[in-house]
Amino acid sequence: MKFLRFIRQYGPVAKNDNMYDETIRRSAKRNGVEPIKFEHPAEHEILGCFSDDASPLVSVILTGTAGDGKTHLLREVWQKLGGDIELWSSDNPYLQHSLDLKGGTSKTVHFIRDLSGWAPQQGLEWEHDKLELIQKFCESIYEENPADIFLIAANDGQLVESWQRLPSSHMVNRTRDLFEELLVEDKQSIKGVCLKFFNLSRLGSAELFTRVCKAFIEHEGWATCYQESTGDDDTFGVNCPVRHNYELLKDELVCSRIRCLIELCDHCDLHLPIRQLLLLLSNAVLGHPDCPDNMMRPKDIPEIIRNKKSCRASLYNNVFGANLSENRRRAISIFDYFDRFQIGYETSNRIDNILIYGDSEKCLNDSFKEFIANDTFYGADESYCSIRNRYIEGSEEDTDAPKEFLDLLISQRRGLFFKIPHDKSHELKLWDLTVFRYAGDYLHDVLEPLCEEKTIRRAIRSRLVTGLNRIFTGMLVNSDRELLLATSGNFSQAKISRVLKDRLSVEPRHGERITVTLNEKGRAQVEVHLSKEITASWELNLIRFEFLSRVATEGALPASFSKECYEDVLAFKSRLLAAHQKRTKLDGVEDDPSHLGLNLISISKQGVPEDRFVEVTI
Amino acid sequence: MSEYLQTRLPSAAKVAPSMWVDEAIWGHRYHDEQNPWLTFLEFLNVFAHEKEKGRALDEVNGFNTLSYTPYRRLHLRNLLFNNPKIGIISEKETADESLWKEWQEQLQNVQGAIDPNFEYLRSRFNGPEAFKDFAEIISLLKSTALELNTNKRWSSKFVFPYGVDCLYEDLNKDAKTNDRNFFGRTGEMLYLILCRSAQKERVRELLTSHLFFQDSGFNKLARALQPEDGETSKSQLKDSFLPYISHPIYDALSEDWVALLELEVPGYDIFPHLVNIAAFHLMQYQLRVAKDILNRTEPLRIVCEIVAPKKTLVRELSCDDYQQNNLLSTEAVTAYIEAIEDSDEWQQAIQQPGAFVNCKEILENKVRWGSDYEGATTPEDLIKTLRDDCRKRHKQHVANVHRTYGKDIGLISKRGTIRLRYAPNDDFLKCLIFANVSKRMELHRFQYLLWEKYGLIFGDKEAEQVLSSDVFDKKSFQSNARRLEQRLTSLGLVKRLSDGCAYVLNPHSKSIS
């Protein structure tokens, strides 16, 4: 069971060797297993920068969060260029390689594989030779065919910070501004600069997860585990929770639900590096609150089975880091992000009825059986039923049962999130199990069609327009065919806006139209076309979508949302007003100097906005 | 002693008040009942008048010679704020003509109304439902009026400053004479500060080209509610006073206003930020001058708490800083009087015969006080009475400026606790970003700038520099900085790249759009 020990090292254990590319390989060697391998989505493009037909060669910077795979990719390049692997194994953060090119020329490739390890510590002076090298780098990227090219791997923060600590000079400042522009504006290159910039944190984590998960579950180590297991109640036997968790993970439904969560994180700009994804998988399979480091070791398992503690190893809980202490969990970004969905704490009456009365109520019985009773591992066992009965009967002295039962409910709700099949997710309102009740619509009715280059359903677009109109006017309007551009007169951010500037058509009309599209970063956006030339767009992330959907369907501003979404929408209105002003200017409409007309909106009982035109002679 | 304190400008000839201490230290004058918006309005009144005369932000006749005549606009004000029946009348389903008639008739009974001749309105509204149109316009302008202290009498209510035709002075309750309750001259001080600031030309240029001076639709609307000859005030306002020729705050304020006015913000949206930043600088000016008078050389410190769910060390420090800063102005007043007492002039006077008379003369010259003095005729009693009276007077208004302005602009609050402290709200934070980040700025640099420029402390790096090691707690400040980042991120004003690097963004920067 060396393999289990090895994958445990990817998890949230105190000494996790498998955090760094360098140590993973050592630890794999020691355990005699292959590390988890898959092709990084950017690998092809990065290696392509150094292929023979990539001319001219340019410098490359790999940046991203810790655990994004920078060192790994750099090593791939090193190997590809014929670098000495022994040299790579040294701890030197700076390596050099001479590259012979066709035609008898050669170039020096400088590898700075860890900028923070190479640059002097905060407060120390830069050494002369390092300064010279940096200077060379700064100059080389502005040359047409430089003799030196650089490969630098650095966390983006370190990159900016190192450059800030460099003695100021024209070239240094110029390069720093360049980095800022590349980073903040998510660019890969800038015209006239011989530099390719790969920000690995901008890659979709969902795509990474698909690859990581596939490599994880298809690893040959699992086959060995099956072979090595000796009895049903032994490690990796039929009753072993690790084996069960592994098999659950292989289930398309479970995997796809995890992927959904990660995809939603992507669309909230919460990036999860590879290291975090591996940690998630390792913890999902091996997590158990009663073991050292809250992760099962092969030798712990027989005892867990004997003591009937297998249910505490539930993958459904482990995915959310529930096996870890609260402090530990909060410190790990993937669990922190997943926590924001509040899965386990959010619910609907329907769901809770199934969980509580499912085995006695006839109409709920089928669902109860399907999702709870049939799950002999993590479903409703005897202890669940007995505590539930105590909870329902609820005597005053019995203060433990409610608490205990509510905790059990949390894990059962989590289980349901992974068990409700796709075809029932609508009926059972799967996403009511999260705080984002409209996340399902967002995934399936917004992202999915957009990724397939289709348009989104009219009903969804109407809902968004209604939501926008309600915020724009501050009134409970129901119009979804036109966007109402209204102001209060003095502030574009006012709560109630009665002065109607214009109505913009949702369907195409004289160049006006409102669409939902993907932007260049692959994020959904609302695009308002005011004319052929003038467009204003607004990124439609999950939170904004949820907010507008609730405003449109439930009316009032959802109290659980902070002011931020509301202000976001108002800021968008400001931009639309500015765009509208621009259009008016371009149209060359002259104001009548003797009259002033105003459209004032009021709202009819049906929620239809009515405007009253008031004219004043001036 | 700071250099600027050496040359205090002389006040104009004998003017009120009769105790020239607060005024000599800071200017004529701070008034806590004049909230930041009213200060801004008063400023606009002055600026618009001086612009009209072709001398905006120039003290052409020398320092402290400003003199201006504000508008009254009694018709507009009556229509908007002393017109209680208009709503009810416009609801009636009778002919338009009779609505006008009924409205005019009831005006006779409205208290404080002036010369109820509103005939001119009839030519301004010509639609079939002219009266209803008129009522709609009134309700619209009223709905956007500045909601400052709703209990105020109608003659102290103000329409939003859409343009010059919306400007007028504060009047007393009979609407006949100028009143200093809400236009207490702080706006004049603001005007003089900008007159003497480094970037006054640019401020003038930007303000003059702002929508406010472009006769916008809403300004026209306000004009349409007034007769052709808008009455000007009978009051000739003068005796404005700002004691120092230059001060770093003057320049910082002009710099911030320029930054704000250069942003691409639609309509009047920049006004609240101009108001907040001006009030913030006025507050800083009070604190910094007080510190200099007290000869305290350590930098001004404003530890800010980003509200935490639980009590934190940062909150404690913030409360302490608030309390210490809140005492500064009163201490400065005491020190100012002590300096008179310590002066050679005073010391010689008390040694010589007729000490009391001589000392009284000194005080009459220096602080214009003493003619009504009726206490014991000893120099000691005399100066003690002055000290007590000064402190008393100071506490009534000027000492409250730090607290009231701080609360009004969203820097000071009790949120989540029972003690006042520096706990900036979102609007205030936004204002700081809009005024200081031209396009984007690395978050740590931004925090450092706030410290350097305003003395505001959020993060551990700045706190470590000024706090003694026994009160400094790195962790608390780090979490405070983290909360700051979260707040700004949720406002869409910070973009985090990865664990080590975040940028503050200004969405209104010209270069972005």
Flag if A161 and B500 touch (Cβ within 8 Å).
yes
| Interface test mutation site (partner A, options B214, B491, B501, B511, max chain A beta carbons within 10 A) | B501
Determine contact: B407 vs chain A, CB below 8 A. Answer: no
A45 closest CA partner among A198, A214, A205: A198
How would DSSP label each residue in A318-368? Answer: HTTTTTS-HHHHHHSHHHHHHHTTTBTTB--HHHHHHHHHTTTSHHHHHHH
Predicted local confidence at residue A339, as pLDDT:
94
B257 and B203 Cβ atoms separated by less than 8 Å: yes
Predicted local confidence at residue B350, as pLDDT:
93
**Residues A210-213: contacts with CB within 8 Å, 24+ apart?**
A210/A259, A211/A38, A211/A39, A211/A40, A211/A41, A212/A36, A212/A38, A212/A274, A212/A277, A212/A278, A212/A281, A213/A249, A213/A255, A213/A258, A213/A259, A213/A277, A213/A281
Predicted local confidence at residue A24, as pLDDT:
83
DSSP run (H or E) holding B422: strand B421-422
Name residue B240's amino acid: S
- Closest residue on chain B to A176 (Cα): B442
B79 and B142 Cβ atoms separated by less than 8 Å: no
pLDDT tens column, A82-92: 888 888 888 78
pLDDT surpassing 80 at residue A615: yes
Which of 77-136 (B) contact A at CB < 8 A?
Answer: 123-127, 133, 136
> Model confidence at A437, in pLDDT bands (50, 70, 90)?
very high
pLDDT tens column, B114-129: 666 788 899 999 888 8
B57 closest CA partner among B188, B151, B148, B179: B188
Predicted local confidence at residue B288, as pLDDT:
97
What is the average pLDDT value for chain A, to the nearest integer? 90
Candidate from B269, B426, B495 with C-beta closest to A492: B269
Predicted local confidence at residue B15, as pLDDT:
64
Q: How many CB pairs under 8 A join A and B?
A: 128
How many angstroms from the chain centroid is the CA of residue A481? 33
pLDDT surpassing 60 at residue A195: yes
Helix, strand or coil for residue B302?
A: strand
Task: Find the range with the poorest average confidence among A118-132, A521-535, B1-15, B93-107.
Answer: B1-15
Predicted local confidence at residue B241, as pLDDT:
93
A151 closest CA partner among A80, A208, A52, A66: A80
Determine contact: A200 vs chain B, CB below 8 A. Answer: no
Which of 534-563 (A) contact B at CB < 8 A?
Answer: 562-563
How many angstroms from the chain centroid is the CA of residue B59? 21
Residue with tokens 């084996």: A243
- Closest residue on chain A to B226 (Cα): A618
Determine contact: A492 vs chain B, CB below 8 A. Answer: yes
> Model confidence at B150, in pLDDT bands (50, 70, 90)?
low
Name residue A50's amino acid: F
For residues A274-299, give the mean pLDDT: 95
Predicted local confidence at residue A403, as pLDDT:
85
For residues B414-429, give the mean pLDDT: 93
Determine contact: B140 vs chain A, CB below 8 A. Answer: yes
Q: Which residues, including other chains, have CB under 8 Å from residue B446's CB and lie 6 or more apart?
A: B433, B436, B437, B504
- Count other C-beta atoms under 10 Å from residue B342's C-beta: 11
Candidate from A159, A498, A564 with C-beta closest to B490: A564
Candidate from A155, A184, A581 with C-beta closest to B440: A184
Flag if B268 and A491 touch (Cβ within 8 Å).
yes
> Model confidence at B112, in pLDDT bands (50, 70, 90)?
low
A157 closest CA partner among A68, A63, A276: A63
Flag if B137 and A598 touch (Cβ within 8 Å).
yes
pLDDT surpassing 50 at residue B41: yes
> Model confidence at A17, in pLDDT bands (50, 70, 90)?
low
Determine contact: A611 vs chain B, CB below 8 A. Answer: no
Residue with tokens 């011989």: A194
Determine contact: A173 vs chain B, CB below 8 A. Answer: no
Determine contact: B217 vs chain A, CB below 8 A. Answer: yes
pLDDT surpassing 60 at residue A480: yes
Predicted local confidence at residue B451, as pLDDT:
97
Min Cα distance B307 → chain A (Å) is 15
Task: Find the range with the poorest average confidence among A398-402, B260-264, B338-342, B382-386.
Answer: A398-402
Flag if B497 and A617 touch (Cβ within 8 Å).
no
Predicted local confidence at residue B16, as pLDDT:
63
For residues B253-258, give the mean pLDDT: 98
DSSP state of A408: H
B405 and B36 Cβ atoms separated by less than 8 Å: yes
For residues A302-323, give the mean pLDDT: 94
β B494-498/B501-505 pair status: antiparallel
CA gap A491, B271 in Å, rounded = 9
B139 closest CA partner among A614, A492, A469: A614
- Count other C-beta atoms under 10 Å from residue A221's C-beta: 18
Predicted local confidence at residue B233, as pLDDT:
65
> Model confidence at B274, in pLDDT bands (50, 70, 90)?
very high
pLDDT surpassing 70 at residue A55: no
Which of 259-288 (A) contact B at CB < 8 A?
Answer: 271
pLDDT tens column, B357-416: 999 999 998 898 888 888 889 999 999 999 999 999 999 999 999 999 999 999 999 988
CA gap B84, B30 in Å, rounded = 34
Residues of B in contact with A582 (CB under 8 A): none
H helix runs in B397-425, sequence order: 401-409
CA gap A7, A287 in Å, rounded = 12
> Model confidence at B14, in pLDDT bands (50, 70, 90)?
low
Residues of A in contact with B440 (CB under 8 A): 180, 184
Flag if B143 and A498 touch (Cβ within 8 Å).
yes
A528 closest CA partner among A595, A582, A608: A582
Token output for B474? 């790195």
For residues A567-581, give the mean pLDDT: 88
pLDDT tens column, B45-55: 999 999 999 99
Helix, strand or coil for residue B504?
A: strand
Min Cα distance B269 → chain A (Å) is 5
> Model confidence at A117, in pLDDT bands (50, 70, 90)?
confident
Min Cα distance A156 → chain B (Å) is 6
Q: What percent of chain A has pLDDT over 90?
A: 54
How would DSSP label each residue in A434-458? Answer: SS-TTHHHIIIIIIHHHHTT-PPPH
Candidate from B140, B265, B503 with C-beta closest to A489: B140
Flag if B125 and A563 touch (Cβ within 8 Å).
no
For residues A41-69, give the mean pLDDT: 85
Q: Which residues, including other chains, have CB under 8 Å from residue B466's CB and lie 6 or more apart?
A: B298, B299, B301, B457
Rounded to whole angstroms, what are the CA distances from A311 to A246, A303, A514, B30, B129? Answer: 14, 13, 51, 70, 76
Helix, strand or coil for residue A532?
A: coil
Q: What percent of chain B has pLDDT over 90?
A: 68
For residues B338-348, give the mean pLDDT: 94
Specify which residues A154 forms β-bridges with: A63
CA gap B158, B496 in Å, rounded = 42
CA gap A413, A351 in Å, rounded = 8
Predicted local confidence at residue B111, as pLDDT:
67
B255 and B37 Cβ atoms separated by less than 8 Å: no
Token output for B290? 């007080």
For residues B425-430, give the mean pLDDT: 94
Kindly provide the residue ranges of all beta strands, DSSP E only, lying in B16-135, ordered along the sequence.
none
pLDDT surpassing 60 at residue B513: no
pLDDT surpassing 70 at residue B248: yes
Flag if A490 and B140 touch (Cβ within 8 Å).
no
Predicted local confidence at residue A18, as pLDDT:
65
Predicted local confidence at residue B314, as pLDDT:
95
> Model confidence at B492, in pLDDT bands (50, 70, 90)?
confident
pLDDT surpassing 60 at residue A533: yes
pLDDT surpassing 90 at residue B155: no
CA gap B479, B477 in Å, rounded = 5
State the number of CA atoms in the 13 A half-sphere of A5 facing the CB: 12
Candidate from B125, B223, B491 with C-beta closest to A564: B491
Min Cα distance A244 → chain B (Å) is 35
